[in-house]
Amino acid sequence: MPRWGEWLCAVLISSTWACGSDDGGAQPNDPGGQGQTAQAGTTTTNGGGPIGAGGPAGGSAGLGGSANASDELLPNGEGREYKGIVNLIDAEAAQALDAYLLEADPFMGGSGRIGLELPTRHFYRHYADEYDIVYFLTDHALDTSVDGLHGWVTKPPLPGTGADEPICTRRGPAHLGSAVGIQVGSLDRFPPFAHEFAHYSAVNLDAKFGFGRDVDTEFPGHWGMTSANGQLGGFDATTLRCETPVGAKPPNCTPTASGRYHYTVAPFFPNANNATNQPFGPIELYLMGLLPVAEVPSPIVRFEGADFPFESLQPTSDGMFPIDATGLSDLAMSEIVARHGEVPALPADKRNFKAAVVLVTAAPAAQPLLDRVAEWAAIFGGEIVSPNPDWVSFAELSGGRATMSCRVGKRHDPTPDDALEFTCPSYNLCNPTTQNCPAGFACYGTSDLYCAATGGLDIGASCEHHRECKAGSACIQIPADFSKRVCAPYCDHLNPNAPNACAKLCPASFSPIDDTQSVAELGAFCYGGAGGACNPLLQDCAPGQACTGVEAVGCELPGTTKLGEVCQPFGNTCEKGSVCVGVVGEPNQYCQPYCDPSPNAPSANSCASKCPNGAWEYPDHGVCIP
């Protein structure tokens, strides 16, 4: 019986600092994004080399930490702590950070599989697990518009926080919520600290709400063409006007001859608003647990049928952005609460976040860079006030609702990697077999189990997330093609007489769900495309399925490997009427036909005539030995 595990992976959501979008919608002349430069789309002027010179913009070189801040070397030449920040010196970790920013964003053609495990491990060799977020900074610019890239680590957003399912990379200490990679292309541009922090809770609302896209472009994890108006993009609905009649407010706009509408609105971008001093939007504060839902302006307005004009953006004479759309739609906050549950407000003692700012370099960082990064950390942490009005603290961006310390705490002696707790906590919050979640919610997951609002996809439908499937099912890989997923049922593998017994639903293709700590068996799930008992001699499954298995058989989607050819032992990779088997000690397995072992079997189908090497016999069928 197969027991292949299904791992939850990091969800990497990128933001932009010098460009409007790096989520598949980045344009070569996009003027949007945080800290935009005069030349739209550029991210650096130093040619990608290390930053070794430059003074503060609008500030003094003395900024960057309190007078009694530590300035000490880490053991074994591994780095330096300077005014509350850390310069981690390790060529391999620096290379991993570069690769993360260059290659990890799947929306920019990257693999999406490169994480920050190496620099994270190096940092936690010296520091305790007390940080909500760690910002890893380069000392040079990179050839990518991805200036900040957020990755969840171990602390999971549970229902109501913007993400329905726990996210865990199995790559970080249990307290750490997010690790962020940031490229430093200039000492004069404030890093996207706030933008990346917002991603932790505000990135995964149901796609049906229409966030993070316009008519042609996806901006995953951002607010898109909506009035969210925060660090992750979106416009200010109070500035929305009709182009015709001039100055009129929707819905009093006159359509064009084509039936579309022309609007004007204060400057915004779908994926990141212009300045680093953009306050968190009300919905961002709500999802962080810092604002009651009743105080979030409702409804949220969305442009329908609009294509954000990155390449042809021509502001009006009064500096407004023109938007061409088929109309506007409204989204009530009550709809979001009904889908995701209400985010509880954080108590006062939970509103003091802690960040570590870590400069990762192959060689010791130059002093001007250390001073500037320490200054950035002190500003964002609220220790100092910058003369630059765009450089502000987390507390100011949150409207005084929360604080964030950006100063590292006490160090400890270097810890070997095998002593670090880079493991996931277990989140078995419900039972997939009994489906014991509250009304309107279903139990989902294949390792960590959680309640989420019930999806609507039927068994067999293509899917991407568990929560898209109806109650009692999950989004599971197809053994014949692990790149594809469909909704498949949960089943009871312990009670063969249960209505949802695995022996009835998918006798040859299911996997138990075990508690990772107690090893207790919590249920099981059928593999994608499996469904129902059958007879391999009759091949009596539903159209499009094959009856397969060895001792236990069941209906599955058929494979494509021909009879007699070498096959893969995991999953149903053989064509209909055969199964992948092999002889112990032999290097390969082969697609072999079923046969009838009974003495009175018709000659054409008997094991004696079909199997020159003999057959393995079972009560109801046989399988030819290769």
Confidence of residue 269 (pLDDT cuts 50, 70, 90): very high
Kindly state the tokens that stand for 165. Answer: 């399912």
Query: Is 70 exceeded by the pLDDT of residue 86?
Result: yes
Q: What tokens were used for 304?
A: 């329908």
Cβ atoms within 10 A of the Cβ of 396, count? 15
Q: Are 402 and 353 in contact (CB under 8 A)?
A: yes
Q: Any idea which residue has 């994608």 for tokens? A: 528
Q: Give the C-alpha separation, 328 to 5, whole Å.
A: 45
Please give the pLDDT value at position 188.
Answer: 94
Residue 528 has pLDDT above 90, yes or no: no
Query: What share of the chain has pLDDT > 90, as a percent?
Result: 48
Dist. CA 585–CA 112, nearest whole Å: 38
Cα(460)–Cα(475) distance, rounded to whole angstroms?
9
pLDDT value, residue 56? 35
> 118: number of CA atoms within 13 Å, CB side?
16
What band does 205 get if pLDDT is binned at 50, 70 and 90? confident
Average of per-residue pLDDT across 533-547: 88
| Model-wide pTM > 0.95 | no
How far apart, in whole angstroms, are the C-alpha atoms of residue 237 and residue 250?
10
| Averaged pLDDT of the chain | 82
Compute how many other C-beta atoms are within 10 angstroms of the C-beta atom of residue 116.
30
Task: Specify the pLDDT at position 613.
Answer: 93
CA distance linking residue 270 with residue 234, whole number of Å: 5
For residue 155, is pLDDT > 70? no
Shortest CA distance to 588 belongs to which of 596, 580, 576, 579?
580
Least confident among 57-71, 129-143, 309-323: 57-71
Cβ contact 97:151 at 8 Å: no
Q: Which of 27-36, 51-60, 187-196, 445-454 has the highest mean pLDDT?
A: 187-196
Residue 186 has pLDDT above 90, yes or no: yes
pLDDT at 368: 96
Q: Which of 142, 156, 137 is nearest to 196 (CA)?
A: 137
The pLDDT tens digits of the residues spanning 325-340 come to 999 999 999 999 888 8
